[in-house]
Amino acid sequence: MSPTSAHGLVCPISPKLTVSVRSRVESVMLGHYRIAQRYFFLLLASIGIGSVTLGSANAQTLPASVPDELLVGVRRGVAHSRARTAYLTTGATLIKEIPQIGVHRLRVDPSNIDAIERTLKSRRDFTFVERNRAFRPTRIPNDPLYPLQWHLQQIQGPAAWDLVPSGAGAVIAILDSGVDATHPDLAGKLVPGFNTFDDDTNTADVYGHGTRVAGAAAASGNNGTGLASVAWDSPIMPIRVTDTDGFAYTSTLVEGLVWAADNGASVMNMSFAAVAGSPALRAAAEYAMQQGAVVVASAGNCGCLDSTPDTPYLISVGATDRNDELASFSSRGDYVDLAAPGVSIYTTRSGGSYGFASGTSFSSPVVAGVVALMFSLNPNLTPLDVSAVLESTADDLGAAGYDTSFGHGRVNAYQALLAVLGSPPDPPEDLPPTVTILTPEDGEMVSGTVAVDVSAADDIGVSAVELYLDGDAIATDTTAPFSFSWNSTLDSDGAHVLEAVAYDTAGNTGTSPALEVQVDNSDTGTEDHTAPIVVIKSPKDGRKFYRAVRVRVLVKDNVQVERIEVYFDGQLIGSESCDSDSCKVRVVRKTKDAAKGEHSIIALAYDSSGNIGSAAVSVTKRK
């Protein structure tokens, strides 16, 4: 499994929506190919990010993604068998399915991953296709010059504790490197968690980051030992999502959010930056929100203006210092919702010790702790209630009102709890919906029929979403997920602007940020981009066999077929050269050595222009 930087460099995936060329899958059919991930992790270990400075961390060259994995989101209503056939024809195999949100984790041939990704993106069966990226913990070096735990006074923690002592009953899930259950300020606080990296229940801290994050949110307080925290009586649910070098992956974070949501977490903290850039993580955060949980994440430590998109499904937190100034490392952008103390936070460390830590990794759990206090005071709050209260009660910093540095301001625990006590939070009905175009992405080149996917959310419910092209409404969708098909061949080549407008049931409207795409439907008239048409005449899909399989394939092309290949369970069992626009091949595969059960047959055809067509069927060996 593989990394992108935790400094906001994870971009939302946008399908190339008109791909007439089938992906080159010649080597993909070697279905038993596996990357030895052990060697990949040894590579990560050689990077050595344990105690580097921010500068050296930025200088590291990190693998961009797991070299042989993709994540796909299956569109609602698409049959499981259809989705399976769609990726099997590229040679991809299923590693794991997360059925709650329709995400499939696939293994593919790393030498052909780009082509396979393009092919899957061109299919309407999937809402997204993305790499399984990794996220570095958002931490920078410690600065021991600040007083111990100054941040608790900064957010008016002592006054908040007079209203609700400790956050009891609100479980905080820490998605990180694990938690040291033996630490004197954490012992006895942990509820059963899970390890999505190793797929087991061992949640011991393998890197040290998770113990620090857990202590910032919910270390034991008022016990005469060690230090305090924001929500000192909140149970901690450890979810280990990282390898031993502290890298979390899209797949492990997605599984962690779903597991925590299904097992009673009230709040989930991810101290990894720019997670909103992943469609799979947005889907998982939306699922958690539907279960009544609040997801909090770090804004990131790049100290730059970050283009990560905003999402209504999680709260992104920047970092402030003891003077309420923005920390020099804190990332900025439209996705930043709040700020919280994140410089020299005194917290727990693995092995029973304590120490200072800085970064948005530690401002995020401060907000998670405040959310736990709110749930402890009123467990009937909804995630939208929580967001509305946090934003309306934050201490406004920087430019008046919302800004991209501090978001709505620095969190104020006392004022948030007063708001919860004063009247049960009910987000006003004049709040407009939030709406974002997920695909295509800004600046993308598109052609043909373009799939446009839109995310919209509202406190009282979205009634409709309209898609606008160059200022004119061209389509309306009234049912989530909001998806549109735009026939770009009806418009001129060049730049076009897409916007989405969402309506709620009270008549309020919200408009997405505009994005510009480049339409190119030009046809040179000389290049052949049409793949051969492949038909497996026999056996039919679902047919049973015993001693042998007799395969008959028919191929037609608009120019010339050059070669046909037939694979049984990823192994080449026959091929035929051809020099006409129509060819046939017959192959007999004796199956005495084949196990009983389901097997795949895939036929590939190559034309003279390098285009590839494919077809696949599943057959079953009888006893």
The pLDDT tens digits of the residues spanning 153-211 come to 677 766 776 777 667 889 999 999 999 999 999 999 999 999 999 999 999 999 999 99
151, 183, 209, 408: which one is catalytic? 209
Do 175 and 98 belong together in one domain? Answer: no
Do 70 and 116 belong together in one domain? Answer: yes
Q: Judge whether residue 415 has pLDDT over 60.
A: yes
Q: Residue 381: what are its φ and ψ, rounded to 5°?
A: -60, 145
In a domain, 590, yes or no: yes
CATH number of the domain bearing residue 411: 3.40.50.200
- The whole domain housing 106 covers 37-132
- Would you call 306 a catalytic residue per the annotation? no
Q: What is the pLDDT of residue 148?
A: 59
List b or e across 395-422, with b for residues whose CB sees 16 or more CB atoms inside 10 angstroms: bebbeeebbbbbbbbbbbbbbbbbbbee
Instruction: Tell me the CA distances in angstroms from 508 to 429, 434, 475, one per residue in order.
Output: 8, 11, 19
The pLDDT tens digits of the residues spanning 312-322 come to 899 999 999 98
68, 109, 176, 477: which one is catalytic? 176
Do 43 and 89 belong together in one domain? Answer: yes
In a domain, 122, yes or no: yes
Q: What is the pLDDT of residue 91?
A: 87
d(CA 517, CA 522): 15
d(CA 105, CA 93): 9
The pLDDT tens digits of the residues spanning 495-537 come to 999 999 999 877 788 889 888 999 988 764 456 778 899 999 9
CA angle 320–325–330, rounded 5-degree value: 50
Percent of all residues in the chain with a pLDDT value above 70, rounded to a whole number = 84
Do 246 and 266 belong together in one domain? Answer: yes
Do 402 and 443 belong together in one domain? Answer: no
Do 293 and 438 belong together in one domain? Answer: no
In a domain, 340, yes or no: yes
Do 273 and 341 belong together in one domain? Answer: yes
pTM above 0.85, yes or no: no
Percent of all residues in the chain with a pLDDT value above 90, rounded to a whole number = 43
In a domain, 403, yes or no: yes
Q: What is the pLDDT of residue 296?
A: 97
CB 285 within 8 A of CB 250: no
- Would you call 80 a catalytic residue per the annotation? no
271, 344, 350, 361: which one is catalytic? 361
Domain boundary among 422, 450, 484: 422
Number of structural domains in the chain: 4
In a domain, 557, yes or no: yes
Residues 6+ apart with CB under 8 A from 483: 75, 127, 451, 452, 453, 454, 477
Do 156 and 290 belong together in one domain? Answer: yes
d(CA 220, CA 170): 14
25 or 126: whose pLDDT is higher? 126
Q: What is the pLDDT of residue 39?
A: 28
533-538 sheet: strands from edge to edge? 533-538, 548-556, 582-590
Do 85 and 159 belong together in one domain? Answer: no
The pLDDT tens digits of the residues spanning 534-568 come to 999 999 988 988 888 999 999 999 888 998 999 99
Do 604 and 537 belong together in one domain? Answer: yes
Q: Judge whether residue 37 has pLDDT over 70.
A: no
Do 59 and 82 belong together in one domain? Answer: yes
d(CA 348, CA 211): 6
In a domain, 3, yes or no: no
Do 202 and 307 belong together in one domain? Answer: yes
In a domain, 607, yes or no: yes
In a domain, 313, yes or no: yes
d(CA 470, CA 516): 9
